[in-house]
């Protein structure tokens, strides 16, 4: 008696140690030899998924620190890390999820994961569309795209004709912020860290102007060149010295959305921002946000952004890394700006 | 022909040089020997006032710098500085202002000033009330009081029961913020720089708790002691290391009103704020403001705060310095915290 259950290898990416500065490849380990039963145990309410694509996102480094005071707990040393992923249901003890369904959620960095509706964060069924690459559900139509949408419309209070500056502008979030701002009738400038990225911003992503911050000895002067009349909206993905330079160039009643601080070399000993005083004299609003506070807007976002994409009004650039074993290096690469566009890892194709 | 015009001495406080750090007494000079005709020339549209009380306010140091990028231009070297004052009209070529009228406005730091409606900033006629000391029109009912009112209600979005922290809490603005917050049903803690000020906060101004920041080696630990569940609203009058410590102790969706940064030793080379990253994970809104953007609320403010004062629901502490020649020292004293309560200079009594 008892049905036969297939047991397969389940390669994983483990956290080796907590980090102090930025993540490096050696903070993680690709672990072979684990096995997993390809079923969701009866009565468990779980479903077993095969992970297809994993998303590398800068916020993940907060979970690689030994710090429990944040909005999301740290990873556990010696266990597989996790992040947003796109997966196919293989077996299910949950009537809402059937074998063959494609889901997105926070899943394990491993080949197969056992998930449960009540635990899996931001779990959604994904409706595939032959006009849209499936992996875009981790970028353009996933957390980063939604971050751009919620941050731009809900935090930046944009008005037509305003001057918008986006840092890390070719990244997963920045590239959509810039395109939404253009569609909104704004003047949009982006910064990035290489000539190739600057070319993408100007020639493919439709930014009005773009510059390589690494080639600017004086960020204040660079911003004054592109914004002689000042900045109304700054969508900040980097923090640090760029934020400081922007504070010198904001217009009265400008808005700064704090989305990420990928430039910081350390979250436990971060560099200082010196020009906050300008926020008083110029009446600037600076607001941090998390996309997860705005999930009620997700259906509207999906409809709008899918529409824009299908009409050819926006494009999206992704950087695909092949194989789970490349995931640690892909994640670490975010912090040196090695990726060009949204960094995704392909774990399997079906 | 020609009427005889009285000519009197007009003592003035001049700016001697632009400052780099905080103002000191020797950056200014009390100049004797100037004279002024006690009349408003016909056709000038001016009115001549006798200055009764002058207000010493921390914002004035921005005008003592050689910096033209702010919301208000710098003072001119060798000319009298200016600031909020309360004055009596002596002669007038403006039908709206009659001899004997009491006005408040930005006036000269001198015994007599020739003002014009179209130039004088925040000019108002003052309605005296025997229940309220006249000098309170520079503090409780003037710019600092209105700053407290606009900042607390318009920027902090207070809710009953929230945890409110106020720095420089016994100062011109802070003392009213704390009392308004108490009237709003909040839990209110203030910081100040001496035992005497802490006693005032607890025993006269009705704060729930107060502490001397100079006696706290670890501001983060001090805030955790008073706010074990975190801070919802921080009304920031000081900037710098206190703001940094507060950022570690804010609750999710907290609000920080940036009102002043009196702790900064230099505006041209300000110290860094390191903990802005917390504004993302905790979704904090940080907003700078100037009372002058909210003047449409001034009549409502005056009615509310006059009412509270007459009902004995709020009190106000001022620090009176006697004589125009004491004004430079009184202004400089703000930056070492020498004043206890709102710093005013009495130039004349009638």
pLDDT value of position A273: 94
Helix, strand, coil tally for chain B in percent (to 5): 30, 25, 45
Confidence of residue B267 (pLDDT cuts 50, 70, 90): confident
Burial of A343 (0-12, 13-18, 19+ CB in 10 A): buried
Q: Which of B269, B274, B283 sits opposite A288 (nearest CB)?
A: B283
Residues 6+ apart with CB under 8 A from B200: B170, B192, B317, B340, B341
| C-alpha distance from A4 to closest chain B C-alpha (Å) | 46
Whole-number Å distance between alpha carbons of A113 and A46: 10
Closest CA to A53 of A137, A124, A163: A137
CA atoms within 13 A on the CB side of A335: 19
Q: How confident is the model at residue B322 (pLDDT cuts 50, 70, 90)?
A: very high
Over the stretch A151-177, which tens digit does the pLDDT of each residue have?
A: 999 999 999 999 999 999 999 999 999
- Does residue B100 belong to any structural domain of this protein? yes
Closest Cα of chain B to A28: distance in Å? Answer: 24
CB pairs under 8 A between A and B: 105
- The string of pLDDT tens digits covering residues A66-108 is 988 788 899 999 999 999 999 999 999 999 999 999 999 999 9
**Does a structural domain hold residue A124?**
yes
- Of B200, B174, B180, nearest in space to B262 by CA: B174
B104/chain A closest Cα distance in angstroms: 23
| Interface predicted TM-score of the whole assembly (ipTM), two decimals | 0.94
Task: Tell me, yes or no, whether A250 and A157 share the same domain.
Answer: yes
CA-nearest residue of chain B to A293? B283
B271 vs A: CB within 8 A:
yes
* Residue A253 pLDDT exceeds 80: yes
Residue A2 pLDDT > 70: no
Which tokens go with A113? 């994961």
Q: What number is the average pLDDT over the span A221-225?
A: 98
pLDDT of residue A265: 83
Could you tell me if A220 and A122 lie in one domain? Answer: no
Instruction: Let me know if residue A278 belongs to a domain.
Output: yes
Residue in B with minimal Cα distance to A241: B272
Do B117 and B219 belong together in one domain? no
Say if residue B6's pLDDT is above 50. yes
Of A269, A273, A289, the CB nearest to B273: A273
- pLDDT confidence of residue B268: 80
CATH number, domain with residue B340: 3.90.180.10
Q: Residue B133 — φ and ψ, nearest 5°?
A: -55, 135
* Partner residue facing B70 (CB), from A259, A281, A288: A281
Q: How far apart are CA B117 and CA A233, in angstroms?
A: 36
Contact B343, B85 (CB under 8 A): no
| Token pair of A116 as six digits | 């449960």
Q: Quick one: average pLDDT of A224-251?
A: 97
Please give the Cα distance from A158 to A154 (Å, whole number).
9
The per-residue pLDDT for A1 is: 47
Asked if B308 and B37 touch (Cβ cutoff 8 Å), the reply is no
CB atoms within 10 A of CB A322: 10
Q: Tell me the Ramachandran region of residue B223: left when phi exceeds 0, alpha when psi lies from -120 to 50, beta otherwise.
A: alpha
B77-127 per-position pLDDT tens digit: 999 999 999 999 999 999 999 999 999 999 999 999 999 999 999 999 999
Q: Are residues A266 and A188 in the same domain?
A: yes
Strand-pair partners of A190: A166, A210
Residues of B in contact with A272 (CB under 8 A): 271-274
Residue pair A219/A241 in contact by the 8 Å Cβ criterion: yes
Q: Nearest-CA distance from A220 to chain B in Å?
A: 14
pLDDT band (50, 70, 90) for residue B72: confident
Q: Which token pair is B93?
A: 């070529």
**For the domain that residue A189 is a member of, what is the CATH number?**
3.40.50.720
| Residue at B302 is within a domain | no
3-state DSSP call for residue A345?
A: strand
**Within this chain, do residues A257 and A156 fall inside the same structural domain, yes or no?**
yes
Check the CA dihedral A240-A227-A211-A166 and report its sign: positive
Average pLDDT, chain B: 96
At residue A54, what are phi and psi to the nearest 5 degrees? -115, 145
Q: Tell me if chain A has a CB within 8 Å of the CB of B34.
A: no
Percent of chain A with pLDDT over 70: 99
> Is the pLDDT score of B1 beyond 80?
no
Class of residue B19 by CB neighbours under 10 A (exposed 0-12, middle 13-18, buried 19+) = buried
B243 touches chain A (CB under 8 A): yes
Q: Span A251-268, mean pLDDT?
A: 91
Do B196 and B340 contact (CB within 8 A), yes or no?
Answer: yes
Say yes or no: B156 and B280 in one domain: yes
In a domain, A61, yes or no: yes
Instruction: Report the percent of chain A where pLDDT is more than 90.
Output: 93
Same domain, B102 and B222: no
| Chain A residues with beta carbon closer than 8 angstroms to that of B285 | 285-288
Interface mutation target, options B237, B286, B292, B293, chain A, most CBs of A under 10 Å: B286
Residue range of the domain that includes B326: 7-139+318-346
> Are A69 and A164 in a shared domain?
no
Structure tokens, A191: 């910064």
pLDDT band at residue B2 under the 50/70/90 scheme: low
Q: Which of A81, A79, A132 is nearest to A102 (CA)?
A: A132
| Domains contained in chain A, number | 2
Q: Is residue A286 part of a domain?
A: yes
What is the residue whose two structure tokens read 């002596």?
B90
In chain B, which ranges are E strands?
7-9, 12-15, 28-31, 35-37, 46-55, 82-92, 102-108, 112-116, 124-125, 163-166, 187-192, 209-212, 231-236, 250-258, 285-288, 318-322, 342-346
* Cβ-Cβ contacts under 8 Å, A282 against chain B: 71, 288
Q: Residues, chain B, total?
A: 350
CA B289 – CA B136 distance, rounded (Å): 23
> Are the C-beta atoms of A13 and A110 separated by less than 8 Å?
yes
Q: Are residues A151 and A273 in the same domain?
A: yes
Question: 3-state class of B194 per DSSP?
Answer: coil
Q: Which of B260, B275, B284 sits opposite A280 (nearest CB)?
A: B260
Residues A151, A281 within the same domain: yes
Residues A131 and A189 in one domain: no
Spell out the residues 6+ positions from residue A98 whose beta carbon is closer than 8 angstroms to its own.
A89, A92
Least CA distance to A275: which residue of chain B? B270
- Closest approach of B13 to chain A, Cα-based (Å): 25
Among residues B256, B276, B292, the one where a domain terminates is B292
Q: Does B229 touch chain A (CB under 8 A)?
A: no
User: Do A233 and A179 fall within a single domain?
Assistant: yes
Q: Is B261 on the interface with A (CB under 8 A)?
A: yes
What is the average pLDDT value for chain A, to the nearest integer?
96
Task: Please compute the mean of the pLDDT values over residues B209-213 and round it to a whole number.
Answer: 98
Are B249 and B225 contacting, i.e. CB atoms less than 8 angstroms apart? Answer: no
What backbone torsions phi and psi does residue B243 show, to the nearest 5 degrees? -60, -40
- Helix H or strand E encompassing A191: strand A187-192
Strand (E) or helix (H) holding B304: helix B298-310
On the question of pLDDT at A3 being above 80, the answer is no
């Amino acid at each position: 008696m008892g049905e036969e259950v297939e047991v397969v290898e389940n390669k994983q990416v483990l956290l080796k140690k907590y980090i102090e500065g930025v993540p490096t490849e050696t903070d993680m380990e690709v672990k072979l030899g684990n096995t997993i039963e390809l079923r969701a145990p009866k009565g468990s309410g779980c479903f077993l998924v095969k992970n297809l694509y994993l998303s590398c996102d800068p916020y993940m480094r907060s979970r690689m620190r030994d710090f429990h005071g944040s909005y999301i707990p740290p990873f556990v040393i010696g266990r597989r890390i996790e992040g947003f992923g796109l997966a196919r249901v293989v077996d299910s003890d949950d009537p809402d999820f059937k074998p063959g369904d494609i889901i997105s959620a926070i899943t394990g960095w491993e080949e197969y994961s056992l998930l449960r509706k009540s635990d899996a964060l931001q779990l959604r069924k994904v409706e595939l569309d032959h006009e849209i690459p499936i992996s875009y559900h981790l970028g353009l139509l996933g957390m980063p795209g939604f971050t751009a949408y919620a941050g731009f419309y809900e935090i930046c209070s944009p008005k037509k004709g305003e001057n918008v500056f986006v840092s890390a502008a070719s990244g997963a979030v920045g590239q959509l912020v810039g395109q939404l701002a253009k569609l909104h009738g704004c003047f949009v400038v982006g910064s990035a860290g290489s000539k190739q990225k600057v070319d993408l911003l100007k020639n493919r992503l439709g930014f009005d102007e773009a510059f390589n911050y690494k080639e600017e000895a004086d960020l204040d002067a660079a911003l004054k060149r592109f914004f002689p009349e000042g900045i109304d909206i700054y969508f900040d993905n980097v923090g640090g010295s760029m934020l400081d330079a922007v504070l010198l160039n904001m217009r009265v009643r400008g808005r700064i959305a704090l989305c990420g601080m990928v430039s910081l070399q350390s979250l436990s000993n971060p560099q200082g921002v010196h020009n906050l005083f300008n926020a008083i004299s110029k009446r600037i609003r600076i607001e941090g946000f998390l996309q997860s506070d705005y999930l009620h807007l997700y259906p509207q976002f999906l409809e709008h952004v899918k529409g824009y994409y299908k009409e050819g009004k926006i494009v999206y650039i992704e950087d695909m890394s092949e194989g789970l074993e490349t995931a640690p290096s892909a994640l670490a690469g975010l912090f040196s700006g090695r990726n060009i566009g949204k960094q995704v890892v392909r774990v399997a194709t079906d």
